[in-house]
Chain A
């Protein structure tokens, strides 16, 4: 029954098992920085969104450490203690900003360290880092929804303005200069069509936010519905184009009316009509400002960020050529 070969086999079997365990522990330990020397730093957050000890800390997308401890300091502050690898010390400065994020749309919670383009000494043991809180998905959706409401308001304003300008017979009669009149009419037509497009876009975005709210969450929605992605791209493109057109239209209108020459200018400067027209134009200007702000807000929206980035790249490319 008991033979030496049995015992050798048993020993190999046990060693193989222990090797598996050791390999796992060593690999995990390396990743979690258990065995290397480390640098402890802290950061205070308002909300750590389910961060756990052992989660990764990343600098420029590279894992440089792990979360060691999470303590609640008071009702609005959570102190997170992180261990960073010693060898990244030369790359992290005291003014780096920590934020809690996720690894992809559905991944682990992680801490991101972001370098700030300002001189600062290198990070040292025990430093407390500044933090920012990236908007949560709910907040993003809220922003998107507000942007959309603004967009609807603006398009209505624009619609009224162009309507007023168009209906103002006195203005057209006074505009003796045929060429100028034609120009103005054309720009107004552009503006009108831009407004229509904008309205459609607003509808699309409304549909988008509603869909996300009711649906399977943004991740599922984006991952599964290819049609939706296409639609989103289209909507943003329309928005951008409308914005460009409007800016152009208003620019030329203003130029023609305000710095114009001939009888138009004279008439406009001292009649009641002129006052009214100025006011209208003022409104239009405000409207475009607001619109531009909204566009800016949309650009920061996480869902549309990618699109705008691409757009910017394309522009940069075009400019370079």
Chain B
């Protein structure tokens, strides 16, 4: 059930041309765990080069949404199309090939504890690209670390890094196989405001550098403001409101308004 959003104020952030190609379509998906109906008939579209933020309360099913998109969970109903391919019906091989084009930044970073930063970055590289880039591996690792500003950590273990550094390394790991779509699961949660802003800038930087589309799950309003081209408010499993940050900020709807206080 989508509410009509009041007309946007003049000072909205620039949105990409509506004509841009749709890279991700979520059409009417539902997902429930037992009696807990997390998603009910939820839909969204993501266009090339666009940053969309899905905003919602804790436990509103945001993480479930992106896990469905990447194929870690299967929706009970509805279809998800990523880069023109229906995720739910893909074979393992095709799904792996698709996943090579989609980056996923986990909320908990999910860095492999037993591996150094270099090995963490090499892991998806070797898995996705196999034998192709043998000679360039080191170069690609260094470049990815440069992108996130942490080249000096290459031989450290994740446990030796700070929370912000870990988040950056995780982002570097997401970027090392250049993605067309990046899914961010609460990228700034658990970070101090300063580090969180750095991560937000990094997300913008990545968007510009790689011309990737991003789907960002967040409930951090600063993050939403800084990274979003478009915002979708997820409430009770449905897409409740949609618009730019400024449009939603101006909304008088009590539920929408509650997020912006």
- Residues of A in contact with B (beta carbons under 8 Å apart): 1
CB within 8 Å of A: which residues of B? 114-116, 119
Distance (Å) between the CB of A78 and the closest chain B CB? 61
Prevailing SS type, chain B contact patch = loop
Chain A contacts for B115, CB-based, 8 A: 1
| A1–B155 alpha-carbon span in the complex (Å) | 11
Give Cα A1–Cα B112 distance, bound, in whole angstroms: 12
B30 to chain A, nearest CB (A): 42
Closest A residue to B112 by beta carbon equals A1
Contacts of B119 in A (CB 8 A): 1
A1–B157 CA distance with the chains assembled, in angstroms: 11
CB distance from A4 to the nearest CB of B (A): 16
Interchain Cβ contacts under 8 Å between A and B, 4 examples: A1-B114, A1-B115, A1-B116, A1-B119
Nearest-CB residue, chain A, relative to B119: A1
Q: Please name all residues of chain B whose beta carbon is closer than 8 Å to the beta carbon of A1 when the two chains form the complex.
A: 114-116, 119
- Min Cβ gap B234→A in Å is 40
Residue of A whose beta carbon sits closest to that of B114: A1
The CA-CA distance from A1 to B117 in the complex, in Å, is 12
Chain A's closest residue to B115 (CB) is A1
Q: How far is the CA of A217 from the CA of B94 in the complex (A)?
A: 77
In whole angstroms, how far apart are the Cα atoms of A13 and B119 in the complex? 26
4 nearest interchain CB pairs? A1-B115, A1-B119, A1-B114, A1-B116
Smallest distance from the beta carbon of B113 to chain A beta carbons, Å?
A: 11
In angstroms, Cα B115 to Cα A1, docked, is 7
- Report B170 CB to chain A, min CB distance, Å: 19
- B220 → chain A, closest Cβ, in Å? 35
**CA of A298 to CA of B166, assembled, Å:** 93
Minimal beta-carbon separation of B209 from chain A (angstroms): 31
- How distant is the Cα of A193 from the Cα of B119 in the complex, in angstroms? 102
Q: Return B41 CB to nearest CB of chain A, in Å.
A: 46
**Distance between A3 CB and nearest chain B CB, rounded to angstroms:** 12
